Amino acid sequence: MGPAIVWFRRNLRLDDNLPLDAALRAHDGVVPVFVLDDHYLTEDFSPPRLRFLSESLGELASDLAAKGSRLLFRKGPAGDALAALARETDADAVYSHLDHEPHGTELAREAEAALAAQGTKLRLLPDLHLVLPGSLRTEAGKPFTVYTPYARRWREADKALPVPAPPRVATPPAVLDVRFPSIPMSRPAGFRVEGAPANPRGGEREGRRLRGAFRASALHRYAQARDLPGVDGTSRLSPHLRFGTVGIRSLLAEARSGWREADEAGRRSIEVFVGELAWREFYASILATFPRVLTESFRPEFERFPWITGELADARFAAWRDGRTGYPIVDAGMRQLAHEGWMHNRVRMVVASFLTKHLLVDWRRGEAHFRASLADGDPASNNGGWQWSAGCGTDAQPFFRIFNPVLQGERFDPDGTYVKRWVPEIASWKSAGGDLHAPWRASTPPPGYPAPIVDHAAARAKALAAFATIRAAR
Ligand SMILES: Cc1cc2nc3c(=O)[nH]c(=O)nc-3n(C[C@H](O)[C@H](O)[C@H](O)COP(=O)(O)OP(=O)(O)OC[C@H]3O[C@@H](n4cnc5c(N)ncnc54)[C@H](O)[C@@H]3O)c2cc1C
């Protein structure tokens, strides 16, 4: 059979890569390509994400070269680029991964149409998730909208085993010739955005290193440590799962083999970790089934919620975004986000709750800011996390349950390691007592650090009153 094109998108690795494996098995050679389409510069744009993408592509290109192949770069739109490449290489099929996101679905539809017009097949294989988003149904045949029963079914569902990295990637000699067209990745101007050195590093090797480090230390105490932002208690694999520099099947296989060797506490931790992978798949399923959540609250009554607007909303949003709310745990989180392009999950929940419930700013503004700042920005998990925190999502934290940022700080960052790391005004402050999470209570508050933007009790009362208006109208 003639060669096949392997269209890399969000599976930027050689190990456990189903489309690559399938193409190599069925064809005499493959033509690896990455299409630089404008999507990366618009919807999927954030400097840390582009940095991660560009590091991962650079490494994938050299790993493919080491296996006797070559990663081509072509300018989008993807359908036209793939159809042209198929004609140039006599490829009869294009292999890639299924994508449940609205943009991915649209992209596949366009590519399929462009390829079908010339008789080239598009083969899309499940490679991003363990269970296809949207495929599980309740006993009544309905989509799941509550996590716990979803996770129960998800745990029982069949899951494919990982596939090994190919020893060689056979590629037609004409494609290996440097004269065969491929554009430099930095050609489209927007791809020159560089992010910052503190952003998560991309590439399959870094993904493997993080996995190894996590398995060796934090995985076995994950159940306790994952909620403590001052501790390295989580895997930090989220951008690797977003860009596929880590294979989800091999991650699960590793967790399972760790489970067999672990003691009771270790097993409990591994189960909690696998439960988090299920949250990722739950939100992917929600987005696949209810794409409207990208713009609307899952609970329709929240479309009438009286979010504040105008100058007050802008000023509050700016204080939150810049880490100047006067609540150390919130400010630490927002400053970590600005510096690293990543934030600890517990703190993501606290800052999202604070913006929506204490400051009454629409969750969509916070979600967009996260999307523009995170290296792991994922439409499904980001949207799910925001709607959960705002109380308007599937299986969400009820609106009336309002995190107290002082208690959250005292509980999850008891010695202030996290806030001191990210808020220098607090770190250099000689506080007399235990007011690290409520510095305004001290007789001499930290110089240069703002007073609280709102009073917790008063903000809570206002939030509940606002919530009552949509409840009454229900
Ligand atoms: C408001 C808000 C926004 C979020 N935005 C994103 C986002 O854009 N991209 C993203 O990947 N995650 C998002 N999350 C989920 C979670 O915060 C991150 O996945 C996690 O902090 C990543 O760190 P880690 O890799 O060390 O996680 P670990 O604790 O090591 O977890 C392992 C993996 O499980 C998945 N996971 C863990 N927790 C969750 C969760 N609550 N929901 C969905 N998947 C989860 C992630 O893929 C993660 O890499 C968001 C959560 C909230 C509350």
Which of 209, 228, 376, 418 best tests ligand 1's pocket when mutated (most atoms within 8 Å of CB)? 376
Q: Could you report the per-residue pLDDT of 120-146, keeping only the tens digit for each?
A: 999 999 999 999 999 999 999 999 999
Query: Residue 142 in 3-state DSSP?
Result: coil
Pick the CATH number of 4-127 from 3.90.550.10, 3.40.50.2300, 3.40.50.620, 3.40.640.10: 3.40.50.620
Q: What is the pLDDT of residue 473?
A: 58
Write the pLDDT tens digit of every residue in 342-366.
Answer: 999 999 999 999 999 999 999 999 9
382 Cα to the center of ligand 1, angstroms: 8
348 lines ligand 1 (CB under 6 A): yes
- For the chain, percent of residues with pLDDT exceeding 90: 89
Q: Hey, is 101 helix, strand or coil?
A: coil
Kindly give the distance from the C-alpha atom of residue 399 to the centroid of ligand 1, in angstroms, as a whole number. 21
Ligand 1 atom at minimum distance from 242 CA: 11
Where are the domains positioned within the chain? Answer: 4-127, 129-162+204-289, 300-472
Condensed to tens digits (0 to 9), the pLDDT of residues 446-471 reads: 999 999 999 999 999 999 999 999 98
Tell the residue nearest (CA) to atom 43 of ligand 1.
280
Separation of CA 205 from chain center: 19
CA distance 413 to 331: 13
pLDDT band at 432 (very low <50, low <70, confident <90, very high): low
The pick from 209, 227, 238 for probing ligand 1's pocket by mutation, whose C-beta has the most ligand atoms within 8 angstroms, reads 238
pLDDT at 319 over 80: yes
d(CA 448, CA 439): 12
* Banded pLDDT at 189 (limits 50, 70, 90): low
Band (43; pLDDT cuts 50, 70, 90): low
Residue from 176, 238, 185, 192 nearest 57 by CA: 185
Per-residue pLDDT for 316 more than 70? Answer: yes
- Tens of pLDDT, residue by residue over 98-122, are 999 999 999 999 999 999 999 999 9
What is 129-162+204-289's CATH number? Answer: 1.25.40.80
CA of 338 to the centre of ligand 1 (A): 17
Cβ–ligand 1 contact at 234 (below 6 Å): yes
Residue 37's pLDDT is 82
Instruction: Return the active site residues.
Output: 276, 279, 307, 345, 363, 386
Measuring from atom 51 of ligand 1, which residue has the nearest CA?
385
Q: So what CATH class is 300-472? A: mainly alpha
Q: How does DSSP classify residue 95?
A: E
Distance from the alpha carbon of residue 187 to the mean position of ligand 1, in angstroms: 32
pLDDT category at 399 given cuts 50, 70, 90 is: confident
pLDDT, one tens digit per residue, over 207-252 is 999 999 999 988 999 999 999 999 999 999 999 999 999 999 999 9
Instruction: Give the pLDDT confidence score for residue 397 in this predicted structure.
Output: 77
Predicted confidence at residue 38, as pLDDT, reads 77
Q: Ligand 1 centroid to 238 CA: how many Å?
A: 6
Q: Which residue has the tokens 């629409």?
A: 362
pLDDT tier at 398 (50, 70, 90 boundaries)?
Answer: confident
The CA distance from 471 to 228, in Å, is 34
Mean pLDDT for the chain overall: 94
Query: Measured from the CB, is residue 283 less than 6 Å from ligand 1?
Result: yes
Give yes or no for residue 238 CB within 6 A of ligand 1.
yes
